[in-house]
Amino acid sequence: MKICVYPGSFDPVTNGHIDIIQRAARMFDKVIVAVVANPNKQPAFTLEDRAAFLKRVLSDMDNVEVDSFSGLLIDYMHVKKASVIIRGLRAVSDFEHEFQMALMNKKLDDNIETIFMMTSGQYSYLSSSMVKEVAGLGGCIKGLVPDEILPEVVRALRKKGE
């Protein structure tokens, strides 16, 4: 069974993330969407909320599992018996940082590969940070995050922006 892990903060999950997950699910037997507990970031949503959003949005995808972790991604990959890391790219500006992480992961375990997937063009400008900023300032984020979670995301981000 070919298992991949798509790690990220998903704070909040965007339609760009969903695009990558859906496409990866067509390529792999199992996709684990792993919400990262990153101590260097101050997320707008708790780890539990981010995982719950993903579970709700991805509930109809049989080969997709939502999980969370902290620590080294390579250690998590070993626990999950996964051999491929999926990373989404929006623009060339994402590549340098992602490339450095991929090389470090390769150094830590030469048997684990990283695949970069370009998001669909309609989401190339989209980031969780942009969603948080627009919603916090009262702007419309319809079409940027999944409809299933839109009201909760808007309510939480507008409250933080007040």
The binding site consists of 9-10, 17, 41, 73, 87-90, 98, 123-129
- Choose the catalytic residue: 17, 30, 50, 132: 17
78 included as an active-site residue: no
**Catalytic residue at 81?**
no
59 is catalytic: no
With beta carbons less than 8 A apart as the criterion, state whether 44 and 132 touch. yes
Q: Which residues are annotated binding-site positions for substrate?
A: 9, 41, 73, 87
- The closest of 86, 103, 110, 111 to 28, measured between CA atoms, is 86
Which listed residue (55, 56, 90, 158) is catalytic? 90
* Token code pair at residue 57: 């949005």
DSSP state of 44: S
Q: Determine the Cα–Cα distance for residues 96 and 100; give it in Å rounded to an integer.
A: 6
CB atoms within 10 A of CB 43: 18
Question: Catalytic pick from 30, 50, 128, 132?
Answer: 128
Given 2, 41, 97, 159, the catalytic residue: 41
Count of other CB atoms within 10 angstroms of residue 145: 26
Residues annotated within the binding site for ATP are 9-10, 17, 88-90, 98, 123-129
16 within 8 A of 90, measured Cβ to Cβ: yes
> Would residue 41 show up in a list of annotated catalytic residues for this protein?
yes
Residues catalogued as catalytic:
17, 41, 90, 128
